């Protein structure tokens, strides 16, 4: 019965998508036909078809999700298979579960704070016996690496988590995150039945984890259950906007997504539980043909993992209604765009598998949808370019149009009205979902209460529509540049990046990233005005986004406007109005943890290395993690010896990052350098080491210099 309903649901869903997409395209084609079809217009029809199918899919998905949320009836959701009450029974869990935290140059404090919160929650739930925490570090920055080891030990002692909280550093970090996970599977996989993957900034409550375990334990046909993480911790205006959008529209989107994907869901790389045995057996990532960046190793492994799991006969589900699962988000637009650059490459790589792989149909749809998310940018750009050029070409031709009668019976007779209908329908598909959410706010009591005041929440939706309308054209140009660059094997990049909510995007960084877009905006505005002021006025939302991209990027990276909105009850999420225990615990821990000040400038890049080599206990701890290599080649020993000499003669700034990593990865070198540095006469050491030893001995490594005198006589930079 469930299967029949599932098949019917898919037929209805994709039928509606096809009907909307085709009828919109036909209406558009009919409109173009009325003034004569040219090759350019045929191109427009083709582009419009692809874009409309994507829009129709998103719209239908949201509409279905809204209906499910409105009527609170979803026989297709995975959480229906077992009630939450059962999960509270400790006897129900039998399996062994590994909680994985793959990290790469992340802030160790934030990572371990999150781990501590999850650990405590599971301990309080009385379920710790079934869980083991693994911090799988791929960090290449020596400061982060050493800090991770120290914080690991500190937390193991604090939590009395010997044997339950395990740290492993990997060098070299072959195949990035997927290599990190597969390394875990090879080394420890056999000890566990399932693994729950976390991101460095994700968080899951004990209830959520236990429910996931129970679901997968009681349903042996399930391979992966993905949760829908809510965004938390946004401070800047950009982050808070995203966070609000995720929380207010997220559940409806999830319900809609689950309606058509059902047991053929996707894996998003974190906040998901995976059955280890089939994962190890069937989810080996393929090497893609052709040269990089599209060929080679799969960058976005998660979609491929899900496809391979499903292909192996296991179900993959999205538990969209499971609360207590969270993640954080990039603080600024530039950080977001940089992350998108990476994801863009990963998704475009999927083209190989989506078009030529022998995978289930729905997984193909997932991959095509992922590709569409990035291809739609350049397609919209092509659409706008051809439309503007067509207008330009027509405006200066001095010809009088001969308007034909429409081919379709339901098309309006007037050409202008015909155009307005197409525009209106397109805008409806974009904006109606927002109206549906407002409708839900006023009709669903639980939902309304979660967001506090429904009027404030509605106003917040209008604010997010306005700001994201300005962001969209800039993102379109970013995506176009990313796609073009990836297809031509090049790289897109810009200089400075902000990582923390406390440091906003500088005008310089914004100018570096957005100058091209501003220039495009100004030139396009001049052209549009020259063609026809009416065209200019229609294009204002797009042009404004480009022309003001620099100030918008800087403004939204600030915390102050977000704070102002928060004070006025705007952009508030349920987690801020009524914080769940897990988030409250994280906040308490973050307040308790003493934040160390930044080390002095001259030692800032190498304070990890200094501690590993000078502090005997940090040195011993670090040595504990290093394998003893008995059979090193003569070349390798010579190379390490040369690097050691270089380190002693020039100080750490004389070495590159990989050189430092190589030294810190060798047991013998780390041990002998510790002895040597303390035994060598001070006069034989360079200024840098003298400052380092001096600062270390006075325990003032982490004291910011008070004036220029603190660095007299030494200039590393």
Report, in Å, the least distance between residue 516 CB and another protein: 16
Residue 273, SS3? strand
Cα separation, 465 vs 55, in Å, equals: 16
Place of tokens 């911090």: 135
Cα separation, 670 vs 618, in Å, equals: 11
DSSP letters for 522-567: HHHHHHHHHH-HHHHHHTHHHHHHHHTHHHHHHHHT-SHHHHHHHH
* Binding status of residue 38 toward another protein by CB under 8 A: yes
Q: Which is nearer to another protein, 278 or 452 (CB)?
A: 278
List binders of another protein among 508-527 (CB under 8 A). none
Report, in Å, the least distance between residue 287 CB and another protein: 7
* Binding status of residue 22 toward another protein by CB under 8 A: no
Report, in Å, the least distance between residue 717 CB and another protein: 26
* Binding status of residue 404 toward another protein by CB under 8 A: no
Among 85, 91, 287, 416, binds another protein (CB under 8 A): 287
* Binding status of residue 624 toward another protein by CB under 8 A: yes
* Binding status of residue 659 toward another protein by CB under 8 A: no
- Nearest one of 175, 196, 155 to 104, comparing CA atoms: 175
* Binding status of residue 491 toward another protein by CB under 8 A: no
Report, in Å, the least distance between residue 276 CB and another protein: 9
Which one of the spans 64-72, 74-82, 558-566, 617-625 is the region binding another protein (CB under 8 A)? Answer: 617-625
* Binding status of residue 368 toward another protein by CB under 8 A: no
Q: Which is nearer to another protein, 281 or 404 (CB)?
A: 281
> Is-contact 570 242, C-beta < 8 A?
no
Which one of the spans 199-207, 321-329, 621-629, 638-646 is the region binding another protein (CB under 8 A)? Answer: 621-629
Which one of the spans 11-19, 211-219, 280-288, 575-583 is the region binding another protein (CB under 8 A)? Answer: 280-288
Cα separation, 3 vs 262, in Å, equals: 10
Residues that bind another protein (rule: CB under 8 A) add up to a total of 75
702: which residues sit within 8 A by CB, 6+ positions away? 596, 597, 598, 599, 607
Among 168, 448, 637, 639, binds another protein (CB under 8 A): 168
Cα separation, 590 vs 577, in Å, equals: 19
List binders of another protein among 373-402 (CB under 8 A). 385-386, 389-390, 392-393
Cα separation, 9 vs 6, in Å, equals: 5
DSSP letters for 457-507: HHHHHHHHHHHHHHHHHHHHHHHHHHHHHHHTT-----S----STTSPPPH
Task: Describe the crossing of helices 2-33 and 415-443 by its angle, rounded to 10 degrees.
Answer: 150
Among 72, 91, 358, 446, binds another protein (CB under 8 A): 358
* Binding status of residue 172 toward another protein by CB under 8 A: no
Among 679, 706, 707, 709, binds another protein (CB under 8 A): 679
> Is-contact 469 552, C-beta < 8 A?
no
List binders of another protein among 147-166 (CB under 8 A). 153, 156-157, 162-163, 166
Report, in Å, the least distance between residue 522 CB and another protein: 20
Among 24, 78, 97, 353, binds another protein (CB under 8 A): 353
Binding mask 528-567 for another protein (x = CB under 8 A): ----------------------------------------
Among 424, 533, 616, 657, binds another protein (CB under 8 A): 616
Q: Which two tokens stand for residue 36?
A: 């004569």
Cα separation, 234 vs 213, in Å, equals: 29
Q: Which two tokens stand for residue 467?
A: 């700001």
Burial of residue 35 (number of CB atoms within 10 Å: 0-12, 13-18, 19+):
middle
- Nearest one of 387, 530, 531 to 31, comparing CA atoms: 387
* Binding status of residue 289 toward another protein by CB under 8 A: yes
Which one of the spans 94-102, 231-239, 480-488, 532-540 is the region binding another protein (CB under 8 A)? Answer: 480-488
Q: Which is nearer to another protein, 141 or 277 (CB)?
A: 277
305: which residues sit within 8 A by CB, 6+ positions away? 224, 267, 274, 279, 283, 285
In degrees and rounded to multiples of 5, residue 144 shows phi and psi of: -65, -40
- Nearest one of 171, 176, 517 to 346, comparing CA atoms: 176
State the SS3 of 297-331. ECCCHHHHHHHHHHHCCCEEEEECCCCCEEECCCC
Report, in Å, the least distance between residue 187 CB and another protein: 5
Cα torsion 425, 426, 430, 436 to 10°: value is 10
* Binding status of residue 591 toward another protein by CB under 8 A: no
Binding mask 309-328 for another protein (x = CB under 8 A): --xx----------------
* Binding status of residue 167 toward another protein by CB under 8 A: yes
Among 14, 494, 668, 696, binds another protein (CB under 8 A): 696
* Binding status of residue 99 toward another protein by CB under 8 A: no
In degrees and rounded to multiples of 5, residue 527 shows phi and psi of: -65, -45
Report, in Å, the least distance between residue 513 CB and another protein: 22
Cα separation, 139 vs 330, in Å, equals: 19
* Binding status of residue 288 toward another protein by CB under 8 A: yes
Report, in Å, the least distance between residue 186 CB and another protein: 4
Q: Which two tokens stand for residue 674?
A: 């510790």
Q: Which is nearer to another protein, 290 or 533 (CB)?
A: 290
Report, in Å, the least distance between residue 703 CB and another protein: 16
* Binding status of residue 95 toward another protein by CB under 8 A: no
Report, in Å, the least distance between residue 123 CB and another protein: 17
Q: Which is nearer to another protein, 489 or 657 (CB)?
A: 489
Among 614, 655, 664, 673, binds another protein (CB under 8 A): 614
Cα separation, 104 vs 170, in Å, equals: 10
Cα separation, 710 vs 701, in Å, equals: 12
* Binding status of residue 680 toward another protein by CB under 8 A: yes
* Binding status of residue 617 toward another protein by CB under 8 A: yes
- Nearest one of 25, 20, 58 to 44, comparing CA atoms: 25
Report, in Å, the least distance between residue 668 CB and another protein: 13
- Nearest one of 365, 436, 410 to 70, comparing CA atoms: 436
Q: Which is nearer to another protein, 591 or 682 (CB)?
A: 682
How far apart, in Å, are the Cα atoms of 459 and each of 170, 449, 465? 48, 16, 10
Report, in Å, the least distance between residue 294 CB and another protein: 8
Binding mask 433-472 for another protein (x = CB under 8 A): ----------------------------------------
Chain length of the chain:
717
Report, in Å, the least distance between residue 617 CB and another protein: 4
List binders of another protein among 174-213 (CB under 8 A). 182, 185-191
């Amino acid at each position: 019965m469930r299967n029949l309903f599932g098949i019917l649901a898919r037929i209805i869903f994709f039928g509606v998508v096809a009907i909307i997409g085709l009828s919109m395209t036909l209406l558009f084609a009919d409109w173009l036909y009325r003034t004569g079809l040219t090759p350019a217009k045929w191109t427009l029809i083709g582009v419009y078809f692809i874009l409309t199918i994507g829009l129709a899919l998103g719209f239908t998905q949201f509409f279905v999700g809204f209906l499910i949320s409105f009527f609170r009836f979803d026989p297709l959701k995975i959480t229906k298979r077992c009630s939450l009450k059962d999960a509270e029974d400790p006897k129900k869990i039998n399996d062994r579960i590994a909680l994985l935290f793959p990290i790469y140059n992340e802030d160790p404090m934030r990572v371990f704070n999150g781990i501590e919160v999850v650990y405590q929650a599971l301990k309080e739930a009385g379920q710790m016996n079934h869980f083991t925490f693994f911090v799988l570090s791929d960090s290449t920055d020596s400061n982060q690496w050493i800090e991770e080891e120290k914080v690991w030990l500190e937390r193991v002692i604090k939590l009395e988590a010997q044997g339950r909280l395990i740290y492993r550093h990997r060098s070299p970090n072959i195949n990035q995150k997927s290599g990190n996970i597969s390394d875990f599977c090879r080394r420890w996989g056999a000890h566990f039945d399932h693994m729950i993957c976390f991101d460095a900034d994700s968080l899951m409550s004990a209830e959520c984890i236990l429910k996931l375990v129970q679901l997968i334990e009681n349903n042996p046909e399930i391979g992966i259950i993905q949760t829908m993480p809510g965004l938390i911790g946004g401070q800047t205006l950009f982050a808070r906007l995203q966070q609000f959008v995720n929380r207010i529209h997220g559940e409806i989107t999830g319900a809609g997504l689950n309606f058509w994907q059902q047991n053929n869901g996707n894996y998003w790389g974190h906040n998901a539980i995976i059955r280890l045995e089939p994962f190890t057996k069937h989810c080996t990532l393929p090497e893609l043909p052709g040269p990089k960046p599209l060929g080679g190793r799969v960058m976005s492994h998660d979609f491929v993992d899900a496809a391979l799991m499903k292909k192996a006969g296991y179900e993959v589900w999205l538990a969209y209604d499971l609360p207590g699962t969270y993640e954080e988000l990039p603080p600024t637009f530039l950080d977001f765009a940089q992350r998108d650059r990476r994801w863009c490459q990963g998704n475009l790589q999927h083209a190989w598998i989506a078009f030529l792989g022998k995978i289930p149909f729905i997984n193909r749809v997932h991959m095509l949808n992922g590709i569409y998310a990035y291809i739609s940018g350049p397609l919209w750009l092509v659409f706008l370019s051809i439309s503007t050029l067509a207008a330009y070409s027509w405006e200066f031709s001095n010809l009088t149009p001969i308007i034909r009668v429409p081919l379709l019976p339901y098309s309006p007779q007037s050409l202008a009205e015909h155009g307005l209908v197409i525009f209106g329908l397109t805008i409806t598909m974009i904006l109606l979902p927002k109206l549906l959410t407002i409708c839900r706010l006023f009709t669903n009591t639980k939902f309304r209460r979660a967001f506090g005041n429904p009027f404030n929440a509605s106003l917040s939706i209008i604010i997010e529509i306005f700001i994201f309308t300005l962001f969209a054209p800039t993102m379109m140009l970013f995506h176009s540049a990313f796609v073009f660059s990836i297809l031509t094997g090049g790289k897109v990049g810009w200089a400075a990046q902000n990582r923390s909510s406390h440091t906003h995007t500088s005008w310089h960084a914004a100018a570096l990233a957005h100058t091209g877009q501003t220039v495009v905006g100004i030139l396009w505005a001049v052209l549009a005005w020259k063609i026809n002021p009416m065209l200019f006025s229609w294009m204002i939302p797009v042009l404004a986004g480009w022309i003001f991209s620099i100030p918008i990027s800087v403004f939204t990276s600030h915390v102050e406007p977000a704070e102002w909105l928060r004070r006025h009850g705007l952009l508030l999420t349920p987690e801020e109005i009524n914080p769940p225990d897990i988030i409250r615990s994280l906040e308490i821990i973050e307040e308790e943890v003493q934040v160390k000040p930044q080390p002095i400038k001259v030692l800032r890049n190498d304070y990890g290395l200094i501690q590993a080599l000078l502090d005997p206990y940090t040195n011993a701890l670090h040595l504990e993690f290093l394998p003893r290599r008995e059979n090193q080649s003569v070349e390798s020993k010579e190379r390490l010896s040369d690097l050691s000499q270089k380190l002693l003669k020039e100080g750490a700034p004389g070495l590159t990052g990989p050189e430092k990593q190589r030294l810190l990865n060798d047991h013998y070198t780390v041990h002998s350098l510790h002895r040597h540095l303390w035994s060598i006469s001070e006069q034989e050491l360079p200024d840098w080491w003298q400052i380092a030893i001096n600062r270390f001995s006075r325990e003032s490594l982490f004291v910011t210099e008070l004036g220029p005198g603190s660095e007299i006589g030494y200039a590393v930079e």
